[in-house]
Structure 1
């Protein structure tokens, strides 16, 4: 029995440290082995349905303890979607509409699912994560995360608009969803400037290279994020490209992460002044 217990512990650890009891049974570990592992403290039983080792991820463990599934910004972080600054770091879980109150300090979403249950997993479907984000975050932050999700998960705007979203906020996010932004910073620009009534296009190819945002015909906005332009060689290429655009009659502004995130008023005013001067117009 001890050998089988050791095998179970190793298997659970290999699965990430937290598995459903049915998954363990399907993998060849009968009830007797699971009970023996729990009695000796090698495995922790969570709400009778889950088996955990000491390496179990804290967020998934909280979801299991509360009989829910990870969702909203917590699931978005786990999936690697781009997240705006300043979001709360509480754990968001989805619960059945009539489920009991959580036993941990979490942000709970009592909802019906948009997509079928995740089976033996503890992370909600992409559609349910997006639905919760749409109502939990501000419209701007929600759109940033949605656009990042489409990029990371390789989902087209057409497909996301075909989902039967349960509420207005999600439907509006779906209508605005785009895969044109290479980063959340670009989405911020488009969302914040989109109400100006000036034509704006992303990833337009000029002189053989795409630009982040083209306003009108001649005003180019480029964004430097954390992960980009890390080498002096790349930075030199970007500066040279900006110069070439200028020589060809374009007005070019390049903004950094810090400017967009922490000095937006100046960024917005600079672009507005350029439009007022007609820098976006051809000729």
Structure 2
């Protein structure tokens, strides 16, 4: 796609440029996203999602990748709110742009909404998803916090731990996870362990487990 951008005077932006910046995307698959210089106009001779209009940050005429501020602005318009928020959180966490700097730009309403909910402390999309999906519980929620020498994915209330297993939770890592779960239980914590796939594609079932644990008071200190 970089070759096409060079050939036809396009700029990689939005989801495609986000992959270049190595920030989190809900799903990196799909057609490329490009921006067209305002003065160029006309038909784009490549199969792509095309973003028109003046950018937030002026583009170098020779640039092939949009500035991160422009990328995030397009992401806010292109992606569902939760997914856009996760991408913005990732960019802030990596220090690619400061939240204060974004706030001073002439953002459109969708980007303003994302910025209002963004945080620089989430380094992966799942952390953002947990923050937004569990906020309605109206109780303390700590993401990626340390308990008994290990980091847990989420602590709900005082004693309910949510752990999310990815592909690397096998072999020695799996044994260490089981050991830590047992230690947490001896310390009075209740552990709910689910998979990445469950969180991403079967969230209602995960939420149901959490709701039932809260209903039983398993989030409360003894």
The TM-score, its normalising length taken from structure 2, stands at 0.88
* Equivalent position SS for 2:134: helix
Which portions of structure 1, spanning 4 or more consecutive aligned residues, are displaced by more than 6 angstroms? none
Q: Which moved more, 1:239-248 or 1:116-125?
A: 116-125
Q: Give 1:224's match in structure 2, choosing from 165, 171, 181.
A: 165
Q: What corresponds to 1:126 in structure 2?
A: 68
Q: What corresponds to 1:44 in structure 2?
A: none
Q: What corresponds to 2:78 in structure 1?
A: 136
- Asked whether 1:70 is paired with 2:12, we answer yes
- Asked whether 1:261 is paired with 2:200, we answer yes
1:135, 1:196 → 2: CA distance? 28
Q: Which residues of 2 match residues 96-111 of structure 1 at below 5 A? A: 96-97=37-38, 99-111=41-53
Q: Give the CA deviation at 1:137.
A: 0.5
* Equivalent position SS for 2:154: strand
Q: Give the CA deviation at 1:130.
A: 0.6
Q: Which moved more, 1:89-98 or 1:131-140?
A: 89-98
**Aligned-pair Cα RMSD in Å:** 2.3
Native 8 Å contact 1:157 1:174 kept in 2 = no
Q: Give the CA deviation at 1:125.
A: 0.6
Native 8 Å contact 2:12 2:34 kept in 1 = yes
Q: Give 1:237's match in structure 2, choosing from 157, 169, 176.
A: 176
Q: Which moved more, 1:203-212 or 1:250-259?
A: 203-212
Q: Flag structure 1 segments of 5+ consecutive residues without an equivalent.
A: 1-58
Q: Which moved more, 1:134-143 or 1:175-184?
A: 175-184
Q: Give the CA deviation at 1:160.
A: 5.4
CA deviations over 1:248-276 (Å, ceiling 9, x no partner): 11111122112112222211111111122
1:233, 1:159 → 2: CA distance? 42
Q: Give the CA deviation at 1:277.
A: 1.7
Q: Give the CA deviation at 1:235.
A: 1.8
1:131, 1:185 → 2: CA distance? 21
Q: Number of aligned pairs? A: 221
Q: Does the C-alpha gap of structure 1 residues 138 and 236 become closer, same or farther in structure 2, counting only changes over 3 Å?
A: same
1:205, 1:264 → 2: CA distance? 24
Q: Give the CA deviation at 1:182.
A: 4.0
CA deviations over 1:42-93 (Å, ceiling 9, x no partner): xxxxxxxxxxxxxxxxx122323442200010111222222213x6611111
Q: What corresponds to 2:144 in structure 1?
A: 203
Greater relative contact order (CA < 8 Å, ≥ 6 in sequence): 2
Q: What corresponds to 2:128 in structure 1?
A: 187
Q: Give the CA deviation at 1:163.
A: 4.1
Q: Does the C-alpha gap of structure 1 residues 222 and 173 become closer, same or farther in structure 2, counting only changes over 3 Å?
A: same
Q: Flag structure 2 segments of 5+ consecutive residues without an equivalent.
A: none
* Equivalent position SS for 1:260: helix
Structure with bigger gyration radius: 1
Q: Give 1:272's match in structure 2, choosing from 188, 211, 219.
A: 211
Native 8 Å contact 1:185 1:225 kept in 2 = no
2:97, 2:67 → 1: CA distance? 16
Q: Does the C-alpha gap of structure 1 residues 220 and 118 become closer, same or farther in structure 2, counting only changes over 3 Å?
A: farther
* Equivalent position SS for 2:155: strand
Q: What corresponds to 2:21 in structure 1?
A: 79
The TM-score, its normalising length taken from structure 1, stands at 0.70
